Amino acid sequence: MPDTNVMLRLLISCEDRPGIVAAVSGYLAESGANIVRSDQYSTELGGGNFFMRIELTLPSGSYASFAEGFGMTVAEPLHLTWRLWDAARPKRVAILVSRMDQCLLELLWRWRRGELDADIVLVASNHEDLRADVEGFFSLPYYHVPVPKDGKPEAEAKLLELLEGNCDLVVLARYMQILSGDFLEKVGVPVINIHHSFLPAFAGASPYAQARERGVKLIGATAHYVTEELDAGPIIEQDVVRVSHRDGIAALTREGSYVERAVLARAVQLHCEDRVLRNGNTTVVF
Amino acid sequence: MPDTNVMLRLLISCEDRPGIVAAVSGYLAESGANIVRSDQYSTELGGGNFFMRIELTLPSGSYASFAEGFGMTVAEPLHLTWRLWDAARPKRVAILVSRMDQCLLELLWRWRRGELDADIVLVASNHEDLRADVEGFFSLPYYHVPVPKDGKPEAEAKLLELLEGNCDLVVLARYMQILSGDFLEKVGVPVINIHHSFLPAFAGASPYAQARERGVKLIGATAHYVTEELDAGPIIEQDVVRVSHRDGIAALTREGSYVERAVLARAVQLHCEDRVLRNGNTTVVF
Amino acid sequence: MPDTNVMLRLLISCEDRPGIVAAVSGYLAESGANIVRSDQYSTELGGGNFFMRIELTLPSGSYASFAEGFGMTVAEPLHLTWRLWDAARPKRVAILVSRMDQCLLELLWRWRRGELDADIVLVASNHEDLRADVEGFFSLPYYHVPVPKDGKPEAEAKLLELLEGNCDLVVLARYMQILSGDFLEKVGVPVINIHHSFLPAFAGASPYAQARERGVKLIGATAHYVTEELDAGPIIEQDVVRVSHRDGIAALTREGSYVERAVLARAVQLHCEDRVLRNGNTTVVF
Amino acid sequence: MPDTNVMLRLLISCEDRPGIVAAVSGYLAESGANIVRSDQYSTELGGGNFFMRIELTLPSGSYASFAEGFGMTVAEPLHLTWRLWDAARPKRVAILVSRMDQCLLELLWRWRRGELDADIVLVASNHEDLRADVEGFFSLPYYHVPVPKDGKPEAEAKLLELLEGNCDLVVLARYMQILSGDFLEKVGVPVINIHHSFLPAFAGASPYAQARERGVKLIGATAHYVTEELDAGPIIEQDVVRVSHRDGIAALTREGSYVERAVLARAVQLHCEDRVLRNGNTTVVF
């Protein structure tokens, strides 16, 4: 690929009907685009909802006219919901965390190794514990936003000041505070959370203690988009690890932490590559 | 090992305290037993409940005096709950099934290959569908015990007639009927069920539809001892398989069936090798 | 989807260059085709080899003209290697087996349950052991083709008589004979083998004994297309299972058999859905 | 457990014969020891080699007399190979690394979280790249020991100076140098290496390139004790991850790195808990 090309990701969702793929790829061919990867999915054969993700390259300089033309001649007539993302522009990611470091460090190490298709713009926490790691080692800004009892509205306001307009994604990397529906609406970008259980099992508090109590033989972790209802948003990624009767809560917490960090990192990476589309309360992951 | 030896499995549970292992293994040494495998577990360091499983060989002919002596000189003074099982005597297993064949065939096929440490004594079903497989292919007795609406008590009575005294274990291999507490008490042997979800997620009816609705990225199966409370008994074994947005309920049902049959077969084998001890509503699996 | 439609699978491979997707999907749109699923892959960004698989529906009756037109107006000008398969026509599959039943029965059970997108046309074996299962229970033809020492050419000739023109795929379900290059050429259809190791580890004889000797902590199975070089053909599917020092060769053989049968069944299913394309000595699996 | 107790690990290997367990546990009972966990394994039923690992607690102050008495009254008469390790004394671990940080950081991060039952005493590398991480983030000593062409003997001598008498274990966390047999002998403690393939597949150089070339569907990593023969020592732990045709060498390297670090960390932890016994060129892992 000549480096004068731009790489774009085109995401489409709409009601399914014949001709969509042809209209889209016809426009792409006329525009001199080369399709690098294409995925599509219909919820029903010959109907339902249609989802599409295309990675394409365009001759340099043609981005604006390509986007404008696509909107006018394809998307509008066919009533497509769509977005276009320049693959050269990494998502700006803000991370909220409390005291546990496993998910935060996993994201920051991957980011440092160039394995996360993202710019980490800031870390904010309701505790001071992880400041040295974030500032001292990764040279990233760290904001301490305490959440005193009865002080959540003020804390959320302060967080919004930090986040609004500065990020494309908020990641809750074991942030042990419930965000209000008002906050979620105002922040205006997707929020991904990691819950330390195989949802919908063991939603809510102390999932490892719940798992120990129930005597399950596998424990898991779930990364999902945050919605107003706790631990109930669209699931992006899950995984599990085998445990036994010998594993007390400390061992479950330790083994679970390895799953949590892997699941959250994969989910963030999938999101940053624009590979996740929402379908009601579920996701399509290409 | 000279074939004049007998192989026994000794299972012990009690309150933990020092000296149990020494007393047990001292008695074994005096009796000329050879310990082939030994596993133990304490729920707390230096306290809690203690569980032990020993595979041992004894000189032929010494079984009765060994058992008697163990009871008098070890188990009674130390207040042990214990049982002894002759490994040469396979568990007698009865299987209840409805219409779906995956779990039944897996068990029968492993049994035919000599991979299940069990004698299958009968198959009973509330439907006729699987008679040809059971009788024709595996040459096992098949009993049709229909469960008409409002006829459950009569059906359970008929099942009890078939089962009482004839089996050491009842396996529900996708038996789509809820057994009453009264039945469970009267049958007098453990009952293992396979539930087609990763419990405690998606208990109850239609777990694959529930899984599809929730948009989980893994589906699972759970083998557990049956208690009066539905899908809530002690878990013996669980496993999962990865699924995607493309998998409709038919695909989830198919992929799930492969997990169900593997999980149930492993749980039955573990039970038949006396490797599962109950600890309240959980299990210790050695 | 109106049932007057036909569902086709279109498979394409060629050198990659811009415009292929547009030409293909343009032709599909003109033909009234609806794309149900589409996958594509290029070995290099903007170059290398290009592979595509499209599931599409066509108005009834238009198959022949669609195929003819595609060849003339798309495939020929663009130098595409391509084939079209009517999804309503299951692949005709012949199975070769020796004495071990695990892989054969897995395929036959799945086929009986309607889970294998194939017609099993015959089973042939160099032993008589599995005749009763195949004929008696599955009502499929069973041919005994012994392979005496120095009698391989005659045996292969007899097999060719059975297979030529009668099947679209040959599956070696633990067929413990090496087929000659001459046979592979004459049979004229793909041949899939299951090898009971995680290739390229433990190629050749007695892989479980080799695995035990080496002390590996996982054992595996590999389904691959057969080529003249033993155990060296393009890999379609692999999987593994955890083992321990306690597992002797008998246990490895038993646990391995569960992996073998799952891996082979998945590979056969993938092939029968036209989801496997060869890329030199590797595969692209959509 | 009163904190005046000491926790010990007793490891035994010998030819199997009746009475060993009884002699050992009899001595433990007389000594006032409490057995917390016990595992045993015989390579053959009633013969072969016998391996045992016991976690026990002793009254404070009785360690020396316990050890002495065990040697005289149990180990010597029964010809046991044995060792005793005070669980309160973490293994002293030295890590050798080249440029890649994944395995090193995983070990250091688990160590910082208190999840590794070890004291990291130093990190040595043939490159300077990771000094800032080791010294700055983890406050551990970092030694640069370059290995110029033809300078290996001098480099090994320098390493031996650093290591001799200072560590109980050497870990090669992607140390891209082959250590001589002479070094291995002189260093006098076990050396664990991580190889980035599922051994014995893809031993030697560039295993990810080899894996890509062969078209495998899973890639893996193997942690093993280092012996003079390259990549051929006793395997402690292995794991794999699923890959596809889409994964080029960069993706295999990235996904493989997550497996490498997990496998090495688990192997080091198993070793540090004295759970690995060598059995010829294989391991028994309790």
Buried b (16+ CB within 10 A) or exposed e, C21-40: bbbbbbbbbebebbbbbbbb
If you measure CA to CA, which chain B residue comes closest to A238? B217
If you measure CA to CA, which chain C residue comes closest to B139? C137
Place of tokens 């010990």: D8
Q: Which among B32, B46, B57 is the nearest to D34, CB-wise?
A: B46
Torsion angle, alpha carbons of C94, C96, C101, C103, to 10 = -60
Could you give the CA distance from residue A219 to residue A260 in angstroms, rounded to a whole number? Answer: 10
pLDDT along chain D (286 residues), means of 10: 76 89 85 88 85 92 92 96 96 98 97 96 98 95 96 97 97 96 97 98 96 98 96 97 97 98 98 97 97
Which residues of chain B are within 8 Å of residue C137 when distances are taken between CB atoms? Answer: 136-137
D85 CB-near residues (< 8 Å, 6+ apart): D8, D9, D11, D274
Question: Is A105 close to D109, i.e. CB distance below 8 A?
Answer: yes
Q: Which among A109, A133, A258 is the nearest to D105, CB-wise?
A: A109
Given A231, A239, A247, A274, the catalytic residue: A231
Instruction: Give pLDDT tens digits for B144-168.
Output: 999 999 999 999 999 999 999 999 9
Residue ranges, chain C, pLDDT below 70:
1-4, 46
Examine the pLDDT at B180 and tell me if it is beyond 50: yes
Angle at A42 between CA C119 and CA B253, to 5 degrees: 50
Strand order in C169-172's β-sheet? C142-144, C118-125, C91-97, C169-172, C191-195, C218-225, C235-242
If you measure CA to CA, which chain B residue comes closest to A43? B246
Q: Which among B234, B239, B245 is the nearest to A284, CB-wise?
A: B245
Q: What is the mean pLDDT of chain B?
A: 94
Instruction: Give pLDDT tens digits for A27-48.
Output: 998 898 888 889 999 998 767 8
Q: Which among C215, C246, C279 is the nearest to D245, CB-wise?
A: C279
Main-chain dihedrals φ then ψ at residue A209, nearest 5 degrees: -65, -40
B55 CB-near residues (< 8 Å, 6+ apart): B7, B8, B9, B35, B36, B37, B38, B87
B95 Cα to chain A: minimum distance (Å): 24
Nearest to B244 by CA among C284, A229, A43: A43
Question: 3-state SS of chain D: helix, strand, coil percent to 5?
Answer: 35, 30, 35
Q: What pLDDT tens digit does each residue of chain A (286 aa) get? A: 445 688 999 999 999 887 788 789 889 988 988 888 899 999 987 678 999 999 999 988 889 999 999 999 999 999 999 999 999 999 999 999 999 999 999 999 999 999 999 999 999 999 999 999 999 999 999 999 999 999 999 999 999 999 999 999 999 999 999 999 999 999 999 999 999 999 999 999 999 999 999 999 999 999 999 999 999 999 999 999 999 999 999 999 999 999 999 999 999 999 999 999 999 999 999 9
Which residues of chain C are within 8 Å of residue A1 when distances are taken between CB atoms? Answer: 45-46
Tokens representing residue B76 in the block: 């009674």
D18 Cα to chain B: minimum distance (Å): 5
Could you give the CA distance from residue B14 to residue B17 in angstroms, rounded to a whole number? Answer: 9
Residues on C contacting B at a C-beta cutoff of 8 Å: 101-102, 105, 109, 113, 115, 133, 136-137, 254, 258, 262
Which residues of chain A are within 8 Å of residue B236 when distances are taken between CB atoms? Answer: 217
Asked if B173 contacts B96 with a C-beta cutoff of 8 angstroms, the reply is yes
Nearest to D263 by CA among D285, D242, D236: D236
Which residues of B are the active-site residues?
A: 231
The predicted complex's ipTM stands at 0.94
Residues on C contacting A at a C-beta cutoff of 8 Å: 1, 5, 18-19, 21-23, 25-26, 28-30, 32-42, 45-46, 57
Which residues of chain D are within 8 Å of residue A137 when distances are taken between CB atoms? Answer: 136-137
Question: Is D29 close to B19, i.e. CB distance below 8 A?
Answer: yes
Could you give the CA distance from residue C165 to residue C79 in angstroms, rounded to a whole number? Answer: 28
pTM, whole model, 2 decimals? 0.96
Question: Is D26 close to B22, i.e. CB distance below 8 A?
Answer: yes
Strand order in B81-86's β-sheet? B34-44, B47-58, B6-15, B81-86
Which residues of chain B are within 8 Å of residue C138 when distances are taken between CB atoms? Answer: none
Q: What is the pLDDT of residue A46?
A: 67
If you measure CA to CA, which chain A residue comes closest to B40? A246
Question: Is B37 close to D35, i.e. CB distance below 8 A?
Answer: no
Question: Is D113 close to A105, i.e. CB distance below 8 A?
Answer: no
Element (H, E) at A121: strand A118-125
Could you give the CA distance from residue C28 to residue C35 in angstroms, rounded to a whole number? Answer: 8
Q: Which among C105, C136, C258 is the nearest to B262, CB-wise?
A: C258
Main-chain dihedrals φ then ψ at residue C260, nearest 5 degrees: -50, -50
Examine the pLDDT at B46 and tell me if it is beyond 80: no
Could you give the CA distance from residue A281 to residue A274 in angstroms, rounded to a whole number? Answer: 18
D150 CB-near residues (< 8 Å, 6+ apart): none
Instruction: Give pLDDT tens digits for C142-200.
Output: 999 999 999 999 999 999 999 999 999 999 999 999 999 999 999 999 999 999 999 99
Secondary structure letter of residue B36 according to DSSP: E
| Bridge partners (DSSP) listed for residue A144 | A125
Main-chain dihedrals φ then ψ at residue B110, nearest 5 degrees: -65, -40
If you measure CA to CA, which chain D residue comes closest to A134? D137
Instruction: Return the partners of chain D (3 or more C-beta pairs < 8 Å).
Output: A, B, C
Which residues of chain B are within 8 Å of residue C258 when distances are taken between CB atoms? Answer: 262
Q: What is the pLDDT of residue B19?
A: 78
Q: What is the pLDDT of residue D17?
A: 81
Nearest to D17 by CA among B53, B30, B36, B86: B36
Main-chain dihedrals φ then ψ at residue C208, nearest 5 degrees: -70, -40
Tokens representing residue D230 in the block: 């390259």
B86 CB-near residues (< 8 Å, 6+ apart): B6, B7, B8, B63
Question: Is C200 close to D198, i.e. CB distance below 8 A?
Answer: no
- Residue C178 burial (CB count, 10 A): 12
Instruction: Return the partners of chain B (3 or more C-beta pairs < 8 Å).
Output: A, C, D
Asked if D224 contacts D190 with a C-beta cutoff of 8 angstroms, the reply is no
Asked if D135 contacts D142 with a C-beta cutoff of 8 angstroms, the reply is yes
Which residues of chain A are within 8 Å of residue C38 when distances are taken between CB atoms? Answer: 21, 38-40
Asked if D154 contacts D145 with a C-beta cutoff of 8 angstroms, the reply is no
D201 Cα to chain A: minimum distance (Å): 25
If you measure CA to CA, which chain D residue comes closest to B27? D22
D21 Cα to chain B: minimum distance (Å): 7
Examine the pLDDT at B2 and tell me if it is beyond 50: no
Question: Is C36 close to A22, i.e. CB distance below 8 A?
Answer: no
Average of per-residue pLDDT across B104-118: 97
Asked if D27 contacts D48 with a C-beta cutoff of 8 angstroms, the reply is no
Question: Is A41 close to B284, i.e. CB distance below 8 A?
Answer: no
SS3 B84: strand
Kindly calculate the radius of gyration of chain B based on its CA atoms and give it in whole angstroms. 21
Q: Which long-range contacts (CB under 8 A, 24 or more apart) does B267-270 make?
A: B267/B192, B267/B194, B267/B223, B267/B224, B267/B236, B267/B237, B268/B93, B268/B107, B268/B116, B268/B118, B268/B169, B268/B171, B268/B192, B268/B223, B269/B110, B269/B115, B269/B116, B269/B117, B270/B236, B270/B237
Could you give the CA distance from residue A251 to residue D41 in angstroms, rounded to a whole number? Answer: 25
Size of interface B-C (CB pairs under 8 A): 15
B40 Cα to chain C: minimum distance (Å): 17
